[in-house]
Amino acid sequence: MTDKTQGAAPTPPYRRPETPLLDKAVIPPQLRALKPEQLRQLADELRAEMIDAVSVTGGHLGAGLGVVELSVALHYVFNTPDDKLIWDVGHQAYPHKILTGRRDRMRTLRQGGGLSGFTRRSESEYDPFGAAHSSTSISAALGFAIANKLSGGPNKAIAVIGDGAMSAGMAYEAMNNAREAGNRLIVVLNDNDMSIAPPVGALSAYLARAYSSNTFLEIRDAVRQLAKKALPEPLKAPAKRADEFFRTLGTGGTLFEELGFYYVGPIDGHNLDVLVPILENIRDAAEGPCLIHVVTKKGKGYAPAEAAADKYHGVVKFDVVTGKQHKPAPGGPPSYTGVFADALVAEATRDPRVVAITAAMPSGTGLDKFQKAFPDRCFDVGIAEQHAVTFAAGLAAEGFRPWAAIYSTFLQRAYDQVVHDVCIQNLPVRFGIDRAGLVGADGSTHAGSFDVTYLATLPNMVVMAAADEAELVHMVHTANEYDAGPIALRYPRGEGVGVPLPATPEKLEIGKGRIVREGKKVAILSLGTRLAEALKAADELDAKGLSTTVADLRFAKPLDEALIRKLCASHEVVLTIEENAIGGFGAHVLTLASDEGLLDTGLKIRTMRLPDVFQEHDSPAKQYAEAGLDAAGIVKTVLTTLRHNSVDVSEGARA
């Protein structure tokens, strides 16, 4: 067979696209100066520019590709920044950022000192509200709308919320109050029939009906035409009612109409000839809060994204021509997420009581592996962390062994459910807490900085932190076998340290730590994966004649009190370190020491923890160095504490 590629012209090398209109539309007032017929070209240029930028930075791609036309239409029709445009989650806001004066910084995205990957008030007047955790946009927009109403201003508030984000209760709490805002509140439901994974639950089925029945749409259009005709008076009202009836029947409208919204949709969210006039009508004529249901495609306009199962929701750097992402070569240490998932599947294979719950993050938590192995025992509840926790409590109450696998930062959303439904009732829910500690590019909104603080303070709760991937395997087994009450284990984003994984998991003794390295003068009590840096620091301290013990305490609650007492009694300096903010492991050790008078002997204790600031996005290594939680920071803390002659401890140097 002849080789079809013979003689075919070689693929031309990729070149950054020409963007003549986008060059003119640096900020929305300039965009609004364009002619309507130029908007389609502007959108095409915007999409090409975004693909080019994200190919060199990585980040969230699919969602932004789906709202290119919507971003153009919203900034064209509304008087931003006076009209407040609020993006839910904000991961889809790259086109918005390019259109609002940040195009020149797009290639700094999610890097130290660079643009945030989400909307940020501090970044632009066009970002009236920060986001990243989902389903907050309608509440925020309602706040802006009512503020405008009270101050008599003319401005509108527009919330753009995805179908995934619409599965969270907070969105309904806000819509339940929307009537107050009158016509100042506009909600754009961006329905691309995707969350990170395919959407789940009754709502997505409800919305899907909107654009599924052709018959329905044909009848509806006929009635709509009729309603528009100049009908004799007695027929006008019934025709209008018929139009209203069809406009909302099963199209997702009824739900929103009942909540007090004027529902418009579903409309094609990629067709500017439809979007612009409808948005203009709503801007000028709506009498009350309005919800526009736009149907879009996640990954639109970029074939590799459209073809991908996840629509390129989150990508690393990639080749624009082929779409091939530059992922790390295989063969390195496994990810903590992967180790957790494999360990949980192993537990579930042995134990039919094991069930797993994710809040719309099957791939992020690794539960997609569990879902494949045990489809009937895995539940994706949508973006509904509060429901996930109490749902798990119900399962535990009936004798199952439920695992709620939720990122540290997203578990914050379900804190009262942890306290009220799990801990007070002492129900044996297992919490697999991924993304504990600093997470890098997603920055402050996604850092898992507080879970040791907010969990270890709770009676009945057990809190473990894996020091490496082998420890994680032991902890999954330990937690699964623990039925005496709630238990949480935390582990970071990213890869392990490369230790061999145990063939058989060990059931750890609850509340017992381990000495990893014996020393005499300094004792470092480590919780979690700072252990590797602690061991490096110990080598450096030994070289300075400061013999150092390193212990992995494994549990923030209950503490290994005997081990702590022993180390406090036999060392001059005791230092705790954790990937958590103040009020966590170190605070509990200090409380023990003060309760038991361990400080009365002149013992020097220092706690090392995350600083009392929301650290900006950067690489995790740089973030930890900035926090002083690397080997250099540990060494410096010890030397300063000992006023060691190798450290200049004069006032000026201590800064």
Q: Strand pairing partners for 264? A: 292
Q: Which one among 47, 75, 91, 530 touches ligand TPP, defined by CB under 6 A?
A: 91
CB of residue 406 to ligand TPP, shortest distance in Å: 8
Chain residues 614-643 in contact with ligand DXP, contact rule CB under 6 A = none
252 binds Mg ion (CB under 5 A): no
* Residue bearing tokens 């009942």: 258
Cβ proximity to ligand DXP, 102 vs 446, nearer residue:
446
Among the listed ranges 32-40, 50-58, 259-267, 435-443, the one in contact with ligand DXP (CB under 6 A) is: 435-443
The angle subtended at Cα 511 by Cα 507 and Cα 514, nearest 5°, is: 75
Cβ proximity to ligand DXP, 71 vs 526, nearer residue:
71
59 binds ligand DXP (CB under 6 A): no
195 binds ligand TPP (CB under 6 A): yes
Question: Do 554 and 513 contact (CB within 8 A), yes or no?
Answer: yes
Q: What is the rounded CA–CA span in Å between residue 136 and residue 123?
A: 19
Among the listed ranges 46-54, 191-199, 579-587, 605-613, the one in contact with ligand TPP (CB under 6 A) is: 191-199
Q: Which tokens belong to 195? A: 């969350």
Q: Which amino acid is at 424?
A: I
Cβ proximity to ligand TPP, 145 vs 168, nearer residue:
168
162 binds ligand TPP (CB under 6 A): yes
364 binds ligand DXP (CB under 6 A): yes
92 binds ligand TPP (CB under 6 A): yes
* Residue bearing tokens 């002659």: 645
194 binds ligand TPP (CB under 6 A): yes
Question: Do 395 and 379 contact (CB within 8 A), yes or no?
Answer: no
DSSP at 108: G
Catalytic-role residue among 47, 84, 401, 413: 413
Chain residues 152-171 in contact with Mg ion, contact rule CB under 5 A = 162-164
360 binds ligand TPP (CB under 6 A): yes
Question: Do 360 and 200 contact (CB within 8 A), yes or no?
Answer: yes
Among the listed ranges 165-173, 278-286, 439-447, 544-552, the one in contact with ligand DXP (CB under 6 A) is: 439-447
| Closest to 480 in 3D by CA, of 401, 369, 540 | 401
Chain residues 115-144 in contact with ligand TPP, contact rule CB under 6 A = 132-134
Catalytic-role residue among 45, 69, 385, 471: 385
Angle between helices 585-595 and 561-570 (to 10 degrees): 70
Sheet holding 462-465, edge to edge: 378-380, 354-358, 401-405, 430-433, 487-490, 462-465, 555-557
CB of residue 359 to ligand TPP, shortest distance in Å: 6
Chain residues 74-133 in contact with ligand DXP, contact rule CB under 6 A = 89, 91, 132
Task: Judge whether 133 is annotated as a binding position.
Answer: yes
The one of ligand DXP, ligand TPP, Mg ion, none whose footprint includes residue 413, by CB under 5 to 8 A per kind, is ligand TPP
DSSP at 595: H
CA dihedral sign, ordered 646, 651, 653, 654: positive
Cβ proximity to ligand TPP, 199 vs 633, nearer residue:
199
| Closest to 107 in 3D by CA, of 58, 45, 43 | 58
β-strand pairing of 548-552 with 522-527: parallel
Catalytic-role residue among 103, 247, 298, 401: 298
Q: Which tokens belong to 180? A: 């107050």
The angle subtended at Cα 408 by Cα 402 and Cα 414, nearest 5°, is: 65
Site string for ligand TPP, 53-82 (x = CB under 6 A): ----------x--x----------------
Q: How far is CA 621 from CA 267, 539, 611, 617, in A?
A: 45, 20, 15, 11
164 binds ligand TPP (CB under 6 A): yes
163 binds ligand TPP (CB under 6 A): yes
Question: Do 43 and 300 contact (CB within 8 A), yes or no?
Answer: no
Q: Which one among 124, 135, 139, 192 touches Mg ion, defined by CB under 5 A?
A: 192
Cβ proximity to ligand TPP, 189 vs 455, nearer residue:
189
Identify whether 69 is a catalytic site residue: no
How far the first Cα of the chain sits from its last, in Å, is 74
| Closest to 255 in 3D by CA, of 180, 317, 202 | 202
Identify whether 413 is a catalytic site residue: yes
Task: Judge whether 164 is annotated as a binding position.
Answer: yes
Annotated binding site for Mg(2+): 163, 192
Q: Return the active site residues.
A: 298, 385, 413
Binding site for ligand TPP (CB under 6 A): 63, 66, 89, 91-92, 132-134, 162-165, 190, 192, 194-196, 298, 359-361, 383, 410, 413
